[in-house]
Amino acid sequence: MDTTTLASVASVIDGKTPTSGTEYLSRNPADLADVVAAVRLGPAEDLVEAARVARVAQAEWAQVPAPVRGRVIANLGRLVEANQETLARLVTREIGKPYAEALGEVQEIVDTCDFFLGEGRRLYGQTVPSEMPDKQLFTFRVPVGVAAIITAGNFPVAVPSWYLVPALLCGNAVVWKPAEYAAASAAAFAELAWRAGVPAGVLGLVITDGPSTFDGLKLALEQRLVDKVGFTGSSAVGEQIGELCGRHLQSPCLELGGKNPMVITEDADLDLAVEGALFSGFGSAGQRCTSLGTVIVHEDVRAEFTRRFDAAVRAATVGEPHGPILYGPLLDQKFADSYESTLDWIQPHHTVLGSTATGRITAENPRAGFHGEAGTGLYYHPVIVDGVRPDDRIFLEETFGPIVGIIGYRDFEQAVELANKPGYGLSSAIYTTDPTKAFRFRQLIGAGMVSVNNSTSGAEAHLPFGGNGSSGNGSRQSGIWVLDQFTRWQSMNWDFSGKLQKAQMDVATV
Ligand code: UN1
């Protein structure tokens, strides 16, 4: 895979590139002068056309035996593995993800392919007993049809693979709309999928901006060209997508934001908790949906935890993504702009304990540009906000940046109540040496994912991934559970008695 020549990126529909559109420059956030790709943003019609093509191609793809589709997924896994470093380098260059994390991200695709390649030989249905003699009941998984997958750019290839791989394996066609600021990474991944044997019509790549995506999706749904929508992104946009799908009686797969809490009990191993808070609060510059939002720490250990956490943050390096860093720049200018407004909320009434690589307390300036020349990259200091209050925006809203709040608690039930308060329900963590508290936390927390003595981020690719409340509609990705998103159950009953046996009426009484 040669990504150095990937200078222009556009929609690819049925193997062809439409020509209309406006130009957007995908820039390296570590060095804004470095243009990664000229991205052509197509009109809403691109999405409709891709869905039209997909509708036709899907009928044929569904006839390909599932084990053969599994072979295609196996090919994809092998190709991604063979191109792991090239793809990771492109991801790092395009969104500033630390190279070590980018390698891990690409590995997540390989893991997903590993998991699903064998599923082609299973996709089990069931045989079910009937209430009547000489009659047999069955269930089958059937593909949903055409899936429109709209993904974010913070995980520009791994999270899309969570949708694409199972959707294709199950016999669906996919129209994929990646984030425009990560379009080059997406195009490189799609290229590998086509090379692996996914037919051109079965996977369409659509590069449009937000409003055109929404318009295109609306039209495609109205024309009954899309049967399932998968969306990873903000809760606000997720609500709009949910509303649109609901009008067509569809239930989308929504993977939205998070304000993920970490409870630290009085008996916790504080060094372990500091490590977990550092990784999940500041890894990927806090731009994971699973990033840590607020530490909820017992008052007996709060001062000590805060001291150690602050020291760890001060010791960490922020900077060039290929260096030995904790995190690099923010993803893109629009994320930097929105993070700037978060910094505006916290300024007036908080003690800001964050620090820079050089150890300067950031209270005076938790703003950009401390690595390299000012203005060259979208770099931000890490910020710890001690003493957040339960009705503060910083406690309630996702920030998607390198900022972590701290709040104290006295009573365990109160800690769980605080953990649930923001109304998101994606990931959560508890650091404790008391198994009773760990289980109690698991029972009471509203999150889809719970870590015990581990960070809120870093989910493995074969457990159900997803959230509740503002984090999603309860749909789950990853592992076998995602099959329920991309197949529908069909039941069959077969009466071989040679007479009409009426269910509920002709049943033998005992
Ligand atoms: C996301 O940020 O959308 O659990 C997904 C994690 C990753 C996935 C994050 N494996 O941190």
Complex-level ipTM: 0.95
Q: Is 324 exposed, middle or buried (0-12, 13-18, 19+ CB in 10 A)?
A: exposed
457 Cα nearest atom in ligand 1: 11
- Is the torsion defined by CA of 227, 473, 206, 43 positive or negative? positive
Which DSSP category does 42 fall into? B
Q: Which comes out higher in pLDDT, residue 351 or 75? A: 75
H or E element at residue 238:
helix 235-247
Other Cβ atoms less than 10 A from the Cβ of 387: the count is 15
152 Cα nearest atom in ligand 1: 3
* Substitution site in 290, 426, 475 for ligand 1 pocket (most atoms within 8 Å of beta carbon): 290
- What lies within 8 Å, CB to CB, of 134 at 6+ separation is 495, 496, 497, 498, 501
pLDDT in tens, 465-493: 999 999 999 999 999 999 999 999 999 99
CATH architecture, range 7-257+477-487: 3-Layer(aba) Sandwich (3.40)
What mean pLDDT comes out for the span 427-435?
98
Residue 255 catalytic?
Answer: yes
CA-closest candidate to residue 10, choices 186, 202, 219:
186
Cα gap 386→295, rounded to integer Å:
9
Residue having the nearest C-alpha atom to atom 3 of ligand 1? 289
Which residues contact ligand 1 via a Cβ below 6 A? 154-155, 159, 232, 288-290, 457-459
Residue spans of the domains in the chain: they are 7-257+477-487, 260-452
CATH number, span 260-452: 3.40.309.10
Distance 288 CA to ligand 1 centre (A): 6
Distance 459 CA to ligand 1 centre (A): 6
232 Cα nearest atom in ligand 1: 3
- What lies within 8 Å, CB to CB, of 417 at 6+ separation is none
Asked which of 67-76, 189-198, 399-408, 424-433 is least confident by mean pLDDT, the reply is: 399-408
If you average pLDDT over every residue of the chain, what do you get? 92
Q: Which comes out higher in pLDDT, residue 498 or 374? A: 498
3-state secondary structure of 449: strand
Q: Is 359 exposed, middle or buried (0-12, 13-18, 19+ CB in 10 A)?
A: exposed
Residue 352 Ramachandran class (φ > 0 left, ψ -120 to 50 alpha, else beta) = beta
Identified catalytic residue from 119, 255, 320, 398: 255
| Distances from the Cα of 192 to the Cα of 83, 280, 333, angstroms | 9, 30, 28
- What lies within 8 Å, CB to CB, of 282 at 6+ separation is 313, 316, 326, 327, 382, 402, 404
Instruction: Supply angle C-alpha 432, 404, 355, rounded to 5.
Output: 115
CA-closest candidate to residue 263, choices 411, 386, 387, 382:
411
Would 7-257+477-487 and 260-452 be classified into the same CATH topology? no
